[in-house]
């Protein structure tokens, strides 16, 4: 290349700024460490914004009392099924978009994106119909008390009625990540969270001429924020501001693309359904110990999610790198990216684990909750923190399988760990042997360690490198 055409070297800081700004780059070549860093930064910021929804909501809802927090707990336990579906389709979407991007076929990537969005709208409509018509039945099924069911039905209906915003927010951000446009996904969640943070206190407690909607105000604020985030995503996709551009004039079902997407995503949905359904059983077990146990569990999980989702962002970087590099015919580079990101996540979670172990009460004390709720939340933070270094490897290897389009292997791993081991162990430690919530938390920590060991051993076999997408 002539000197005049050579690209001048840039500083790491300049690259970081460009990454956050959304400058496009090729992640299938160049220094792997820098590629991981630049792809992970906007993904970490994106996932931090995703978890901020939960933390902000519980901060304000906690001021309404223990029962409203318990309502949020059971509603989100059932909502995890929606998350499972959305994340499952997101995995298939990211894998296919990343593979087509690595192959240098943006038109095929765009067709995949359009089909994913059509599926997301259909899923949201079906879930909304069920949630709006059966709130009392579903809350009762989850073990809610008559008071909880009575006070929580409208909140439940609002959240489930607007669930299409959740599905599309996940799916379209998966499109952006697969294409390497992680900064766009980050911006969509920034917008959604800013709106939610503004509307939460206004709609929950009232302000000026705006009446206080109480718990239902939190549902309205969250749904509105997510809805505006989705509108931004669609604007970006239809105006050519990302690598993926959707032409609404070509709107229609492409059965060949839809069938491939369905094949990969169906197992992905099952994979996350297995893990989230196990969460439903854990919530059902916690309900045996009363509303305080449910509220404490909710607060702790929100805080843990706030930590885990940024780490999930680093794992998402691995998934994108795996997909794009397999598409570019570079499987060894794909594998190296997984080990590097796993190590980074281990360092992050190791440090966070130490903070949770030694300062759990101080962290929980930042939230206005009753003493019994605070005690349970602190116990949850501390006990689960002992397994955090294992979570790092388990989470990253599972996401790497998905990035390669191999959704079957992690599905089996999740089934064996969460259903065969975790649920019986949680019941035995929490109920049979009388350890209560502490026993449930210990079961989760033990099973995360098992998941990591199994995930690493299976990943090292390397069969994912030959997976066709």
- Cα(152)–Cα(139) distance, rounded to whole angstroms? 8
- Contact residues for 339 (Cβ-Cβ < 8 A; gap 6+): none
Number of CB atoms found within 10 A of residue 248's CB: 9
Helix (H) or strand (E) segment spanning residue 100: helix 66-102
What is the torsional sign of CA 296, 158, 185, 176?
positive
Give the start-to-end residue ranges of the domains of the chain: 30-466
Which residues on adjacent β-strands are paired with residue 210? 207
Instruction: Report the SS3 class of residue 436.
Output: coil
- Cα(49)–Cα(55) distance, rounded to whole angstroms? 10
At 411, list the tokens. 């599905």
The pTM assigned to this predicted structure is 0.73
At CA 197, angle to CA 194 and CA 202, rounded to 5? 130
| Residue 24 pLDDT | 65
Output DSSP code: residue 7.
P
| Residue 1 pLDDT | 41
Write phi, then psi, for 65 (nearest 5 degrees). Answer: 125, 180
| Residue 5 pLDDT | 39
- Contact residues for 165 (Cβ-Cβ < 8 A; gap 6+): 124, 223, 226, 227, 229, 230
- Cα(125)–Cα(252) distance, rounded to whole angstroms? 18
- Cα(122)–Cα(120) distance, rounded to whole angstroms? 5
At CA 345, angle to CA 343 and CA 348, rounded to 5? 115
| Residue 50 pLDDT | 67
- Cα(178)–Cα(188) distance, rounded to whole angstroms? 15
Write phi, then psi, for 405 (nearest 5 degrees). Answer: 90, 5
From first to last of its 469 residues, the chain has per-residue pLDDT tens of 444 334 445 566 776 676 666 666 777 777 777 778 777 787 777 776 766 776 788 789 888 988 888 888 788 878 878 887 888 888 889 889 988 988 888 888 898 899 999 989 999 999 999 999 999 999 998 888 888 899 999 999 999 999 999 999 999 999 998 888 878 888 898 899 999 999 999 999 999 899 999 999 999 999 999 999 999 999 999 998 888 888 776 677 888 888 888 888 888 888 877 877 787 788 888 888 888 888 888 888 878 877 787 788 788 888 888 988 898 888 999 999 999 999 989 999 999 999 999 999 999 988 878 888 899 999 999 999 999 999 999 999 988 998 888 888 999 999 999 999 999 999 999 999 999 999 999 999 999 999 999 999 999 998 898 876 6
Helix (H) or strand (E) segment spanning residue 304: helix 291-327
Instruction: Report the SS3 class of residue 210.
Output: strand
Contact 295, 70 (CB under 8 A): yes
Per-residue b/e over 386-417, b at no fewer than 16 CB within 10 Å? bbbbbbbbbbbbbbbbbbbbbbbbbbebbbbb
Contact 433, 439 (CB under 8 A): yes
The gap between the terminal CA atoms of the chain, to the nearest Å, is 35
What is the torsional sign of CA 208, 210, 216, 218?
negative
- Contact residues for 148 (Cβ-Cβ < 8 A; gap 6+): 67, 70, 71, 74, 139, 291
Per-residue b/e over 350-384, b at no fewer than 16 CB within 10 Å? eebbeebeeebeebbeebebbeebbbbbbbbbbbb
- Cα(453)–Cα(389) distance, rounded to whole angstroms? 11
Instruction: Report the SS3 class of residue 462.
Output: coil
Contact 360, 375 (CB under 8 A): no
């Amino acid at each position: 290349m002539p000197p005049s055409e050579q690209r001048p070297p840039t500083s790491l800081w300049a690259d970081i700024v460009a990454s956050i700004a959304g400058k496009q780059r090729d992640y299938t070549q160049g220094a792997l460490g820098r590629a991981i860093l630049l792809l992970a930064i906007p993904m970490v910021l994106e996932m931090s914004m995703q978890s901020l929804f939960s933390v902000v909501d519980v901060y304000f809802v906690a001021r309404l009392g223990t029962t409203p927090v318990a309502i949020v707990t059971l509603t989100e336990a059932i909502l995890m099924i929606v998350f499972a579906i959305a994340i499952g389709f997101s995995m298939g979407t990211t894998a296919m978009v990343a593979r087509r991007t690595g192959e240098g076929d943006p038109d095929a990537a765009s067709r995949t994106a359009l089909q994913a969005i059509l599926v997301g709208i259909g899923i949201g409509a079906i879930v909304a119909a069920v949630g709006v018509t059966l709130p009392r039945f579903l809350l009762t099924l989850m073990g809610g008390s008559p008071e909880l069911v009575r006070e929580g039905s409208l909140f439940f209906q609002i959240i489930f009625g607007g669930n299409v915003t959740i599905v599309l927010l996940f799916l379209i951000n998966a499109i952006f990540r697969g294409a390497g446009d992680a900064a766009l996904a980050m911006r969509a969640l920034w917008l959604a969270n800013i709106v939610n943070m503004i509307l939460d206190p206004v709609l929950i407690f009232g302000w000026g001429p705006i009446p206080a909607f109480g718990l239902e105000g939190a549902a309205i604020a969250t749904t509105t924020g997510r809805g505006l985030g989705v509108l931004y995503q669609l604007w970006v996709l239809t105006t050519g501001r990302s690598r993926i551009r959707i032409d609404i004039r070509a709107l229609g079902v492409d059965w060949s693309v839809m069938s491939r997407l369905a094949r990969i995503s169906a197992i992905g949905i099952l994979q996350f359904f297995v893990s989230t359904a196990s969460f439903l059983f854990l919530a059902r077990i916690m309900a045996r110990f009363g509303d305080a146990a449910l509220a404490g569990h909710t607060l702790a999980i929100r805080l843990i999610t706030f930590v885990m989702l940024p780490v999930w962002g680093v794992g998402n970087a691995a998934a994108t790198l795996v997909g794009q590099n397999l598409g570019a015919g570079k499987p060894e580079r794909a594998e190296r990216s997984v080990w590097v990101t796993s190590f980074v996540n281990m360092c992050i979670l190791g440090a966070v684990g130490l903070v949770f172990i030694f300062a759990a009460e101080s962290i929980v004390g930042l939230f206005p909750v009753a003493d019994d709720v605070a005690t349970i939340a602190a116990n949850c933070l501390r006990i689960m923190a002992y397994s955090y270094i294992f979570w790092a490897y388990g989470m990253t290897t599972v996401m790497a399988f998905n990035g390669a389009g191999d959704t079957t292997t992690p599905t089996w791993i999740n089934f064996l760990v969460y259903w065969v081991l975790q649920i019986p162990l949680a019941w035995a430690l929490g109920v049979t042997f009388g350890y209560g919530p502490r026993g449930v938390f210990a079961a989760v920590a033990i099973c995360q360690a098992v998941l990591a060991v199994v995930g690493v051993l299976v990943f090292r076999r390397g069969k994912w490198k030959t997976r066709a997408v």
